[in-house]
Structure 1
Amino acid sequence: MTVTISESDLIESVADALQYISYFHPMDYIRALGAAYEVEQGPAAKDAIAQILTNSRMCAEGHRPICQDTGIVTVFVKWGQQCVLDSTRSLQGVIDEGVRRAYLHPENKLRASILADPAFTRVNTKDNTPCVMSVEMVPGATVSIDVAAKGGGSENKSKFKMLNPSDSIVDWVLEMVPQMGAGWCPPGMLGIGIGGTAEKAMSLAKESLMGHIDMAELKARGPRTDVEKLRVEIFDKVNALGIGAQGLGGLATILDVKILDYPTHAASKPVAMIPNCAATRHAHFTLDGSGPVFLETPNLDDWPKVDWQPDAASIRVDLDTLTAADVQGWQQGDRLLLNGKMLTGRDAAHKRIADMLAKGEPLPVEFAGRVIYYVGPVDPVGEEIVGPAGPTTATRMDKFMDIMLEQGLLACVGKAERGPAATAAIAKHKSAYLMAVGGAAYLVARAIKGSKVVGFADLGMEAIYEFEVKDFPVTVAVDSAGANVHTLAPQMWSAKIREERLLEGV
């Protein structure tokens, strides 16, 4: 029996799924993150998890994106061999139309981040197409589809190596995870692909992230296979590194490890690892020819009862009167609430600034005495001042740090750690780097009370804005002496975890 899958059913189902995952976390992730929050002992990490959980519920209630980076769309299709697509377009074309409709939805427009001509002009396609699609023909009369929206911050931390057959996968993972830093926004998941060829291992790692979080159940019943034993070993040893939520030091760096494998050549052992961030976004549906699939709305009562509020010990900062002496009074680990006006700018703006300075051209804005926020916000809808506007990965701006500080910049705000060169530049100029929580974009946007473009308007979401903020929450990640919380806190927590395990005889 042949089953007809209509073009419109597939388009509507893809569009609905992508809108759905933009504001609804998978409930298995929320339950696992809620459990991690309950046992977390690191104050900074616990605060970060509270922001992520609060942001998640706000997005579920308001139907707005969990993260300003609404991702590159990845689609895994298992096409039943008895099914026929009723369309004059290719399968890629049909699914891309679903992506287009989802990202241009007028009530919840999602950020278009996909650039054509990636090596040269890098021109935005404006609708987040094309998606990255994998298709497998399988027996049966249904079409099963997994869709995911993968943020660039976590995707950029992907790792791959052709190991020797005798090499340890665990040792390689433990070598790679610290190199990933916190730009992938932990706590999340690690997806690992083993075997096949280089490209197959990478695909397996990505596909594994579509799986259900079940580490708690696995540990409760005990592993039954070699792969399950490997999952548990990696889970325990990665969390023992003490990296913690957002790299701030703590007990929960990952919530699960997923592994898929495939037969490989006798001389080879390809291994890939891809992290999933705190904005874990994926959904699954099956078409059988009876119509489109619309995913069921989760019960908001299932979210943990966590309502983040600023810590009473936080230091309120007036950005409009901020001085270098004020900045030099901050210590790594201090929590601040920013008030007043700050500039924004990320990759494209920094590159253009550097080019203009090299040519002796005047800049569109004055950076002396200012603070800059690395962000590319989602377009606002309704009465919003700005759409979700969480931080982007700060290390991408590292090579511009010295140039920007030479302009008199007092501090910068971003996500995750800074590299050695940027940390050294911050110390040299007696500046500071402030970290905002990745994965709390809608919560952070509520602190933005005014927004206007003040430079490079043609760059769209990468333009320079001036934000007026009220009680914008950040942590001092690198202080004016160069003390780096992303180095110091994991070291402390790793030692603490080792000590506790020795006392427990583990």
Structure 2
Amino acid sequence: MSSKQTVVSGKDITRSIADALQYVSYYHPADYIRYLSAAYEREESVAAKNAMAQILVNSRMAAFGRRPICQDTGIVVVFAKIGMSARIDSDGSLIDLVNEGVREAYLDPDNPLRPSIVSDPLASRKNTRDNTPAVVHVDLVPGDKITFIVAAKGGGSENKAQFTTLNPSASVSDWVVDTMSTLGSGWCPPGLIAVGVGGSAEKAMLMAKEVLNEPIDMFDLLARGPSSPEEELRVDLYQRINALGIGAQGLGGLTTVVDVKVATYPSHAASKPVALIPQCAANRHVKFTLDGTGPAVLTPPDMNDWPDIDYGSTFSAGARRVNLDTLTKEEIAMWHAGETLLLSGKMLTGRDAAHKRIVDLFDAGKPLPVDMKGRVIYYVGPVRAVRDEIVGPAGPTTSTRMDSFTEKVLEATGLYAMVGKAERGPVAIEAIVKHRTPYMIAIGGAAYLISKSIKSARVLAFEDLGMEAIHEFEVQDMPVTMAVDVEGNSIHKSGPAEWRQRIARL
């Protein structure tokens, strides 16, 4: 047995966690960029190809500007593998050290990250303002070093995590594919999925969450062929999920997942626990090891890994230009599901908390603080601006969370259109048709790019809600896709259905 003991400074852990969270906020892993670039090159769906182009352009801009890829800068999840011959020199606990790193990262004045964590999840749900606490998982392993995986998991993809216990003879592949077909696009594809099989309920979920951070290697696996049941399941799921035709942002296309990860563990003879966790296009994680010589050194990726995409010509070709300040009901009735629009003019913002307040005021017979008649609302909670920015990264949030409010909000406000992310449910589509108020989507994972189309921003109401306050943005050529038109036609239904048939013919 070795007598060597490594002493890792608690300050080095805190500094490394903070640096890692800053790093992943603006740098995609290079493997994801390579795989998404390959998917972009072979994509045949125009809508999906445009969506991937925006994600790639946004990623490159975020890397150069060192600002968040996505406005949802995630819940922090840390996996720590502590060598049993290592000692941490600190008066505080490991979790305290990690949380201090989270606090420093999210309050960094040069690149503040959006705090999204609320305390007391049952009642007050008050924002902690610094994104603490993190979720920390610790393993004791042989060795004298400490290895960390630091991930920032967005709410849209995290909300789509699923768990089941199958009968021992049941097909894991069938359950995963059936489940993926029902998840919609709120998890922001193209991304990855991870599957944990075995152990117990919590073990399966934990395995899926951890294996999600493994390097992307599906092309290598396809080239050499699977050599284990886990690899056979990976290939099977990769092919079957992409055959669903869901595509980028649920618009229909060839690529829904760029990789599938699988982890297994022995289980009870009567059980087959299965966990499914998707990862969105903001695939944020980094791995580093501390050996007692100082904080982690994180090397920036090679900017040549990003494809050179002509943003202007990509999104302006064939797009309908819209002046938000002169909208009429007759004009919006001409917009059709699937077409690209470039929005210019003034729009309002508002998401969950603002919608609830609007409904509460309406139900109480009280006036609304903002006249919304004839306006467009954007479901967004932007990152705080720094330096000369008008607004920080400002990508869309998942619109289905607004579905239950939509009928009353449209009735109370007289809004003309809505912008968000992902599909709408039947209740919302019914309200869209009734009020002839169409719904558009901006691209999830393109938050920094979208922010550059915002030319002015001011808070109009509910300032105490922070990023959820009602803002007024003035935008210029903000790219969106018509998702649900006034007749109720939905690109999230027609797009995947069309591409599922095309892929089946192939």
The aligned counterpart of 2:185 is 182
Structure 1 position 305, deviation (Å): 1.8
Q: Deviations over 1:196-223 (max 9, x none)?
A: 1111111111001110000011001111
The aligned counterpart of 2:416 is 410
Structure 1 position 394, deviation (Å): 0.4
- Residue pairs, 1:293-308, within 5 angstroms: 293-308=296-311
The aligned counterpart of 1:419 is 425
The aligned counterpart of 2:102 is 99
Match of 2:132 among 129, 133, 139: 129
**What is the SS of the residue equivalent to 1:147?**
strand
Match of 1:240 among 225, 239, 243: 243
What letter corresponds to residue 333 of structure 2 in structure 1? Answer: Q
Structure 1 position 308, deviation (Å): 2.2
The aligned counterpart of 1:504 is none
The aligned counterpart of 2:504 is 498
Between 1:357-366 and 1:48-57, the stretch displaced more is 357-366
Q: Deviations over 1:94-153 (max 9, x none)?
A: 011111111111100000000000110001111000000000011110001000000000
Q: Deviations over 1:324-349 (max 9, x none)?
A: 11111111011101110000000111
What letter corresponds to residue 155 of structure 1 in structure 2? Answer: E
CA distance in 2 between counterparts of 1:435 and 1:150 reads: 22
What letter corresponds to residue 431 of structure 1 in structure 2? Answer: T
Structure 1 position 366, deviation (Å): 1.2
Match of 2:219 among 216, 220, 223: 216
CA distance in 1 between counterparts of 2:165 and 2:376 reads: 43
1:391 aligns with 2:391: no
- Residue pairs, 1:193-272, within 5 angstroms: 193-272=196-275
**What is the SS of the residue equivalent to 2:216?**
coil
**What is the SS of the residue equivalent to 2:472?**
strand
| Matched-pair contact (CA < 8 Å) for 1:17–1:294 | no
CA distance in 2 between counterparts of 1:261 and 1:307 reads: 43
- Residue pairs, 1:235-384, within 5 angstroms: 235-309=238-312, 310-384=315-389
CA distance in 2 between counterparts of 1:181 and 1:305 reads: 30
| Uncovered stretches (5+) of structure 2, i.e. residues with no partner | none
Q: Deviations over 1:455-498 (max 9, x none)?
A: 10000000000000000110110000000000011000000100
Structure 1 position 299, deviation (Å): 1.3
The aligned counterpart of 2:47 is 44
Q: Deviations over 1:40-88 (max 9, x none)?
A: 0000000000000000000000000000000000000011111111111
CA distance in 2 between counterparts of 1:239 and 1:79 reads: 38
**What is the SS of the residue equivalent to 1:79?**
strand
CA distance in 2 between counterparts of 1:297 and 1:367 reads: 44
Q: Deviations over 1:274-313 (max 9, x none)?
A: 1100000000000111111120011111211223222321
Between 1:354-363 and 1:22-31, the stretch displaced more is 354-363
Q: Deviations over 1:180-208 (max 9, x none)?
A: 10011100000111111111111111001
The aligned counterpart of 1:84 is 87
| Matched-pair contact (CA < 8 Å) for 1:50–1:307 | no
CA distance in 2 between counterparts of 1:485 and 1:426 reads: 14
The aligned counterpart of 1:433 is 439
The aligned counterpart of 2:492 is 486
What letter corresponds to residue 205 of structure 1 in structure 2? Answer: A
CA distance in 2 between counterparts of 1:3 and 1:361 reads: 65
Structure 1 position 358, deviation (Å): 1.2
**What is the SS of the residue equivalent to 1:134?**
strand
- Residue pairs, 1:12-161, within 5 angstroms: 12-161=15-164
What letter corresponds to residue 218 of structure 1 in structure 2? Answer: L
What letter corresponds to residue 206 of structure 2 in structure 1? Answer: S
CA distance in 1 between counterparts of 2:471 and 2:479 reads: 19
The aligned counterpart of 1:168 is 171
CA distance in 1 between counterparts of 2:371 and 2:343 reads: 20
| Matched-pair contact (CA < 8 Å) for 1:47–1:308 | no
**What is the SS of the residue equivalent to 1:263?**
strand
CA distance in 2 between counterparts of 1:307 and 1:271 reads: 43
CA distance in 1 between counterparts of 2:54 and 2:287 reads: 27
Structure 1 position 377, deviation (Å): 0.1
The aligned counterpart of 1:503 is none
- Over the matched positions of the two proteins, sequence identity in percent amounts to 58
| Uncovered stretches (5+) of structure 1, i.e. residues with no partner | 501-506
CA distance in 2 between counterparts of 1:287 and 1:108 reads: 25
**What is the SS of the residue equivalent to 1:124?**
coil
What letter corresponds to residue 71 of structure 1 in structure 2? Answer: G
